[in-house]
Structure 1
Amino acid sequence: MSASTEPEPPQRDRFQGKASWVREPEGDTTLESNWLITLRRERYRSRKSGKAHDFYVVHLADAVNVIALTPENRLILVEQFRAGSANDSLEPPGGLLDPGEDPLEAGARELLEETGYAGDEPIILGTVWACPSLLTSRITTILIRNAKLIREPNWDEGEELRLKIVPAREVPSLIRNGKIGHALAIQGLLWWLVSELPGTPLELPKGFQSKDRQIGLGRLMVAIALIGLAFGLMRTIGETGTLLIIPVLLLVPAYLLVDRVVDPMPKTVLTRSMARWGRRSLIRALATLALAQLLWLSVMVMARMAFLI
């Protein structure tokens, strides 16, 4: 986690827009200031009533939250002590930004320093205010795929982290049972989970969606080869063997077509609940049988046409 310097108050004003309260800087007072935070009493006046009121504001540097996934779709988490809760906290890697630092660069740096992992170019999922009632800090969640261990972690003084790498499918249960209890960590994780759902406002930018639904040239060639093999066997083993062997052989290309073209299984964590998975698996099995029968009939027709020729 990087050290922070006190941000100048005017930098925050650019996010304010047409707020319902107007700041009166002449009423500001700095109550405490150190390397991490600056506690200020700031005075604002209501546009509606005209009354002024003092607010207590903690100036804290912006932060970054890193959702890092390995090539096996496992999530990289760290467990560390948090003094606010006086307990250990399981959360994604992250830290504070230096003044003016790009959150993409800071996130990649924090991931490498805290875990020793590095991956693809990061993308921003979104930015939110950490606690707008008290803090000036905003937190940006970034996503890094294909993270791999490239070196030993390099922790700051006072940091004691334990690396936890968990299957992505376990994240919802970790949140539900309280294993992950950091509100900003949960916000970032939920942002990532929803971003993987197609057709949502938070969907990942084009080019970053999973390509698992494509049938792929290799799978297509396997399907064609099996259909060709079925056609060749039909000409050599006779009608009895055809009725027994060919339909079974065609189950493989039929399954590939169903799995990658007709009805791809959802790849996102949020859509892979066991109840829906069971129902959809049954439907896909029936569709595979039907498609295998259709392929078998097609092979039969082509074979008879070949025999006539």
Structure 2
Amino acid sequence: MSADSGGEAPLKPWTVLGSRELLDASPFLKVRAETVELPDGRRVESFYQVEQPDYALMCVETEDGRFVMLRTYKHGARRVSLTFPAGALSPGEDPLAAAKRELLEETGYVSDAWTGLGDFVVQGNHRGCACHMFHARNARKVAEPDDGDLEEMRIELRTRKELIEAAARGDYAFLPVIAMLGAVLLPELREGLSMAARAQGA
């Protein structure tokens, strides 16, 4: 039972009383310290907030039912990892437009069948950024990749069974990738997320 059901009082958000900038490494990173007041009146003088660009994460299925994956080194994890195509949003860019742009740049694939699965904050207390999740179907290759990223990338086409086997081997280094995997492979979860995303966009 949620806190907002069964006659219980709804939970209240915190109140931001002030904010001061500690680090500005735009456009990649900003750090702020907020002064916040809790619903019970307690005050926290330095509740740190991290701002990074939001990004799109795409689960992409080809016309023959395979998934477009990338194998690449990621310095945050200090390892080579299997991951879904992803990329940062430019300031003011629509998340779906960013997803389509990044998919073409990173893989050379395009799709005309996109389903939004919602957007989710990556860090519960510090925010970090929001991950905009999309499921694309019937993707087809129309060009060679031209992403210009620092990382070397290798495109791998994987079956649904191979995606699960890769998880069992520990091939995925990042939590959002595991979340996407669950969202796409569990029909009830995928449908619930897509319905919620449509409702938020209404």
Q: TM-score interval w.r.t. the shorter chain?
A: 0.7 to 0.9
1:1-309 maps to which residues of 2 (within 5 A)? 19-25=12-18, 27-194=19-186, 196-197=187-188, 202=192
Kindly provide the amino acid, as one letter, of the partner of residue 23 in structure 1.
V
Partner secondary structure for residue 155 of structure 1 = coil
Partner secondary structure for residue 165 of structure 1 = strand
- What is aligned with 1:246? none
Q: Structure 1's 94 and 203: CA in aligned 2 closer, same or farther, altered over 3 A?
A: closer
Query: Whose Rg is larger?
Result: 1
Kindly provide the amino acid, as one letter, of the partner of residue 20 in structure 1.
P
Structure 1 runs (4+) deviating above 4 angstroms are none
Q: 1:135-157: per-residue Cα shift (whole Å, max 9, x none)? A: 34111110111111110000224
Contact preservation (8 Å) 1:191, 1:202: no
Q: Which runs of 5+ in 2 are unaligned?
A: 1-10, 196-202
Matches of 2:94 and 2:148, distance apart in 1: 20
Partner secondary structure for residue 93 of structure 2 = coil
Q: 1:187-235: per-residue Cα shift (whole Å, max 9, x none)? A: 11211112x349x862766xxxxxxxxxxxxxxxxxxxxxxxxxxxxxx
Contact preservation (8 Å) 1:64, 1:94: yes
Q: Percent identity?
A: 26
Matches of 2:97 and 2:24, distance apart in 1: 30
Q: Identify, as 1 or 2, the structure richer in strand.
A: 2
Kindly provide the amino acid, as one letter, of the partner of residue 79 in structure 1.
R
Contact preservation (8 Å) 2:118, 2:194: no
Question: What TM-score comes out, normalization by structure 2 length?
Answer: 0.83
Matches of 1:109 and 1:165, distance apart in 2: 20
Matches of 1:159 and 1:168, distance apart in 2: 26
Q: Structure 1's 157 and 203: CA in aligned 2 closer, same or farther, altered over 3 A?
A: closer
Matches of 2:128 and 2:172, distance apart in 1: 24
Partner secondary structure for residue 192 of structure 2 = coil
Contact preservation (8 Å) 1:175, 1:181: no
Q: Identify, as 1 or 2, the structure richer in helix.
A: 1
Matches of 1:148 and 1:98, distance apart in 2: 25
- 1:35 Cα deviation (Å)? 2.6
Q: 1:41-92: per-residue Cα shift (whole Å, max 9, x none)? A: 2221112133233112111121110010011111111111111111112110
Q: Which runs of 5+ in 1 are unaligned?
A: 1-17, 206-309
| Aligned positions, number | 185
Q: Structure 1's 203 and 140: CA in aligned 2 closer, same or farther, altered over 3 A?
A: closer
Kindly provide the amino acid, as one letter, of the partner of residue 69 in structure 2.
L
- 1:38 Cα deviation (Å)? 0.6
Question: What TM-score comes out, normalization by structure 1 length?
Answer: 0.55
Kindly provide the amino acid, as one letter, of the partner of residue 124 in structure 1.
G
Matches of 1:103 and 1:182, distance apart in 2: 20
